[in-house]
A and B are shown apart, each in its own frame.
With several copies, the nearest count.
Chain A
Amino acid sequence: MTDLDSFREDTRAWLEENCPASMRTPAAEDEVVWGGRNAVYKHPDSRIWLDRMAAKGWTCPTWPAEYGGGGLDKAQSLILAEEMQRIGARPPLMSFGISMLGPVLLEMATHEQKLEHIPKIVRGEIRWCQGYSEPGAGSDLAGLGTKAILDGDHYLINGSKIWTSYADKADWIFCLVRTDFEVPKHSGISFILFDMQTPGVSTKPIKLISGNSVFCETFFDDVRVPARNVIGSLNDGWTIAKRLLQHERTMISGFGLSSGRNSRGGLGGSLEQTAMTYRGDTDKLSDPVLRDQIAQFKIDSEAFAFTSQRSAQEAKLSKGPNATSSMLKNYGCELNKRRFELLLQAAGTQALGWESLTADASDFAPEELSVAREWLRSKGNSIEGGTYEVQLNVIAKRVLGLPDMTTMLVKQ
């Protein structure tokens, strides 16, 4: 038996013993564990499951054991993922600390900084949010105006951020601030971390067209942050920001990956099943044109999944994220948007309810209502994390090497 075989055997046995039965089903949206100081465990077993996994570092399997991670190599982590999938185990923890900040800290932070922050991410003790966009800046991320002025061994931060996901629920923020005002705009930015409980920080949720409020406006009014909380070199925050945006894109393109699967989108079955159910069809979808559109969508989804695989394989060969991340982000988002538009067509007026006014949901079932809300939410996919337009610019210039008219303009 190879090492990997025995690792698989051990992993399987450990999971068998430690993963509660209740954690082997898909999590409803409100059962997802985000961790943090005010963590909510709607299902009591989810706390047990998180603690057990965190103790082994398996919330972050490939991160170094030195900082609390699992210390697994790529092959082992793949086996862990396969074994978890085999029993349908839920991810024990969702967090921007894991998907975005952590990888960047591991690459760019000092040993002390890692020691301070990584273990808490692994254990889900601190929930992070991202302070990038600013009101009025939009895609022009580098045009940010939040100021950090050195005052002894602290920075005094003033300004505001927008589109901060879950800022009202987060404990700490990783934030882009301007620390040099004399240089071109990309050059004077620093990447800094601070506690959201620091005096002067306030948040205000933004209500979206879907009726939900996952984003906030965040205001900084003379917020004092220790200077040692800067990550990487002072004024070199743009480098870190770009790196982090790549991780964000990779995460968002996952929307498209799952959009081909049968389990998503609110309505129980797949897209084609939904269309058939709402038409009373059994063998074949009776609307031939919708059938063609769904087939086209599913072919694209499958092709997209193969492309993500291929991109991951290429990234492994060339080490590090590759040029396709912009393309994957965009295609994934467009697929997700297409999926919800098709779901609306699949279910007709039953997918256009806003809320149920009856006790027994005889007007609109909860799954139907969530289709409408998620459809509205999906429109943001091609705006957040670098707009559709910005990604196309990136592909055109970085991947295809086409000349840059904006640079010509900026040079004026």
Chain B
Amino acid sequence: MSLVFNEDQLMLQESARSFCREQAPVAVLRNMRDTKDALGFPKSLWQSMVDLGWAGMAIPEVYGGFEFGYSGLGIVLEETGRTLVPTPLVSTILLSATAINLAGSDAQKTTLLPAIAAGESIVAFALEEGAFHNPAHVSLSAVKTAEGYELNGVKKFVLDAAAADHFVVVARSSGYAGDTNGISLFLLDSKTPGILVQPLSMVDSRSAANVSFDKVNVPAGALLGIEGAGWPALERTLDIGRIGLSAEMLGSIQEVFERTVEYLKQRTQFGVQIGAFQALQHRAALMYSEIELCKSLVRKALSELDRGDDAQDIPALASMCKAKLCEVSALISNEGVQMHGGIGMTDEFDLGFFLKRARVAQQMLGDVLFHRDRYASLRGF
């Protein structure tokens, strides 16, 4: 299996990089923050990305996608990570579209996937209920009614909820928090009565919300997959999300590292470029080494995903990616600020945005300890 990009992939990388540098530099996120934009991403910018095919990259052709594969989507995510572009790529494309594609009926797919690929629909993924990623620990209840189900409970930290026209909701139809049995997925209109979206202001200036479900009645057709058996699709969805998020983190990490190395070459102190100081050189060399490992993991996981039904070891690869990327993301974001000195501490400089985003991305979909623990279990120890 190839871990280096082919011609097509190199072209995609090149075009995504130019697009992000030119159309979506860090200034875009800064502006969203400073204007306290409610949506969370610039609509026209997202439409341009949709026009480039980014929304449909991993959606099957029959549902309006382009089937360019997860490697392609990963390349795009890496580039958006380099300039911290706020997009619904994680919420809608990586998580919700994947869940619909894996678990949905043909009708559900036909209704939503083409709309997603065309940029007409934003679907938020409502999973977490506490301050830590804990997918089996769902307790939002789905109780069967005459017409369908009634949902009651609260979801926290739901990405892009403000912009969403639909939600994928992870609910419990039987059993107790912690059980993997009894988890059901629902796909519902965000305007369904009883849903209250309470926006959050997070350090990374991306859009998230707490969403409460108070006697929310949905028809039987809102069920995504089989009642009580949502776990396998949820797990795979999350693994794809973790790998994609790792790709985004990889982009941010590389950007911070490259900016830092550049700064080491330019900045002089005591009459020499600070990059000539061996202690900084060695720290830079160690960071470089760790980043090379991150690259390999992300590429390996993405290309494994693209083998479709032959894909192997996805859960372990996803946990390896997320664990390692969390670790290196913490390292690089801290070293980036430290090596830049005072200027890195100023809001005027972009570095702080990367530091803030790093910690949110580290928590999202499981932190380093969660994934090392999961990896150890998957490897039988």
> Which chain A residues have a beta carbon within 8 Å of chain B's beta carbons?
133, 137-140, 143, 162-163, 206-209, 211, 272-273, 275-276, 278-279, 284-285, 287, 289-292, 294-296, 298-300, 302-304, 306-307, 309-310, 313-314, 317, 324, 327, 330-331, 337, 341, 344-345, 347-358, 362-364, 372, 376, 379-380, 382-384, 387-389, 391-393, 395-397, 399-406, 408-410
Given A314-B4, A383-B341, A383-B345, answer yes or no on A287-B265 (Cβ-Cβ < 8 Å). no
Closest chain B residue to A356 by CB distance? B201
- Tell me how far the C-beta of B347 lies from the nearest C-beta in chain A, rounded to whole angstroms: 4
10 further A-B pairs in the complex, CB-CB below 8 A; given A393-B285, A404-B276? A139-B270, A209-B356, A272-B380, A279-B132, A296-B323, A354-B202, A379-B334, A383-B341, A396-B282, A408-B276
A380, B345: Cβ atoms closer than 8 Å: yes
Tell me the bound Cα distance from A207 to B132 in angstroms: 31
- Tell me how far the C-beta of B13 lies from the nearest C-beta in chain A, rounded to whole angstroms: 15
**Contact sample, A vs B, 20 pairs, CB 8 Å cutoff:** A138-B269, A138-B341, A139-B270, A209-B337, A284-B381, A285-B376, A289-B373, A295-B379, A299-B320, A303-B297, A310-B4, A310-B295, A327-B289, A352-B203, A353-B200, A353-B202, A364-B200, A393-B278, A396-B278, A403-B273
Interface segment, one of B98-106, B186-194, B359-367: B359-367
Partner of A331, one of B293, B346, B372: B293
B282, A389: Cβ atoms closer than 8 Å: yes
Does B70 lie at the interface of the complex (its beta carbon under 8 Å from any beta carbon of A)? no
Tell me the bound Cα distance from A300 to B360 in angstroms: 23
Partner of A400, one of B3, B284, B338: B284
A403, B269: Cβ atoms closer than 8 Å: no
A405, B132: Cβ atoms closer than 8 Å: no
A410, B270: Cβ atoms closer than 8 Å: yes
Q: Which residues of B contact A344 (CB under 8 A)?
A: 359
Partner of A300, one of B277, B324, B330, B344: B324
B373, A295: Cβ atoms closer than 8 Å: yes
Most buried by A among B277, B293, B379: B293
Does B18 lie at the interface of the complex (its beta carbon under 8 Å from any beta carbon of A)? no
Q: Which residues of B contact A284 (CB under 8 A)?
A: 376-377, 381
Does B72 lie at the interface of the complex (its beta carbon under 8 Å from any beta carbon of A)? no
- Tell me how far the C-beta of A292 lies from the nearest C-beta in chain B, rounded to whole angstroms: 5
Interface residue tally for chain B (C-beta within 8 Å)? 80
B345, A208: Cβ atoms closer than 8 Å: yes
B381, A400: Cβ atoms closer than 8 Å: no
A303, B270: Cβ atoms closer than 8 Å: no
Partner of A379, one of B199, B337, B377: B337
- Tell me how far the C-beta of A388 lies from the nearest C-beta in chain B, rounded to whole angstroms: 7
B2, A313: Cβ atoms closer than 8 Å: yes
- Tell me how far the C-beta of A190 lies from the nearest C-beta in chain B, rounded to whole angstroms: 21
Given A292-B369, A292-B372, A353-B203, answer yes or no on A347-B261 (Cβ-Cβ < 8 Å). no
A209, B4: Cβ atoms closer than 8 Å: no
Partner of B285, one of A278, A296, A306, A392: A392
Q: Which residues of A contact B375 (CB under 8 A)?
A: 295, 298-299
Q: Per-residue CB proximity of B281-324 to A under 8 Å, as 1/0?
A: 11011101100111111011000000000000000000010011
A306, B356: Cβ atoms closer than 8 Å: no
Partner of B363, one of A278, A300, A302, A348: A348
Partner of B341, one of A139, A309, A393: A139
Most buried by A among B264, B297, B345, B347: B345
Given A327-B289, A402-B264, answer yes or no on A294-B376 (Cβ-Cβ < 8 Å). yes
Q: Is the interface of B mostly helix, strand, loop or mixed?
A: helix
Tell me the bound Cα distance from A296 to B374 in angstroms: 11
Given A306-B297, A408-B276, A410-B271, answer yes or no on A313-B4 (Cβ-Cβ < 8 Å). yes
Partner of A354, one of B201, B324, B342, B344: B201
Does B348 lie at the interface of the complex (its beta carbon under 8 Å from any beta carbon of A)? yes
Q: Which residues of A contact B203 (CB under 8 A)?
A: 352-354, 372, 376
Given A402-B264, A404-B276, answer yes or no on A302-B342 (Cβ-Cβ < 8 Å). no
Q: Which residues of A contact B300 (CB under 8 A)?
A: 306
Does B248 lie at the interface of the complex (its beta carbon under 8 Å from any beta carbon of A)? no
Does B130 lie at the interface of the complex (its beta carbon under 8 Å from any beta carbon of A)? yes
A399, B288: Cβ atoms closer than 8 Å: yes
Interface residues of B in 108-135 (CB under 8 A from A): 128, 130-132
Tell me the bound Cα distance from A363 to B202 in angstroms: 10
Q: Which residues of A contact B4 (CB under 8 A)?
A: 310, 313-314, 317
Tell me the bound Cα distance from A101 to B304 in angstroms: 38
Tell me the bound Cα distance from A334 to B375 in angstroms: 22
Does B56 lie at the interface of the complex (its beta carbon under 8 Å from any beta carbon of A)? no
Q: Which residues of B contact A389 (CB under 8 A)?
A: 277, 279-280, 282
Most buried by B among A292, A355, A401, A402: A402
Q: Which residues of A contact B200 (CB under 8 A)?
A: 353, 357, 363-364
- Tell me how far the C-beta of B71 lies from the nearest C-beta in chain A, rounded to whole angstroms: 14
Q: Which residues of B contact A410 (CB under 8 A)?
A: 270-271
- Tell me how far the C-beta of A68 lies from the nearest C-beta in chain B, rounded to whole angstroms: 33
Given A279-B132, A292-B369, A347-B131, answer yes or no on A363-B198 (Cβ-Cβ < 8 Å). yes
Most buried by B among A208, A275, A291, A392: A392
Tell me the bound Cα distance from A276 to B132 in angstroms: 13
Partner of A387, one of B296, B341, B360: B341
Does B74 lie at the interface of the complex (its beta carbon under 8 Å from any beta carbon of A)? no
Q: Which residues of B contact A357 (CB under 8 A)?
A: 198-201
- Tell me how far the C-beta of B286 lies from the nearest C-beta in chain A, rounded to whole angstroms: 7
Tell me the bound Cα distance from A383 to B349 in angstroms: 16
A296, B293: Cβ atoms closer than 8 Å: no
Q: 6 nearest interchain CB pairs? A: A209-B352, A348-B131, A396-B281, A272-B381, A395-B285, A310-B3
Does B95 lie at the interface of the complex (its beta carbon under 8 Å from any beta carbon of A)? no
Does B54 lie at the interface of the complex (its beta carbon under 8 Å from any beta carbon of A)? no
A403, B275: Cβ atoms closer than 8 Å: yes
Does B239 lie at the interface of the complex (its beta carbon under 8 Å from any beta carbon of A)? no
Closest chain B residue to A394 by CB distance? B285
Partner of A327, one of B278, B288, B369: B288
Tell me the bound Cα distance from A349 to B288 in angstroms: 29
Q: Which residues of B contact A206 (CB under 8 A)?
A: 346, 348
Tell me the bound Cα distance from A391 to B289 in angstroms: 11
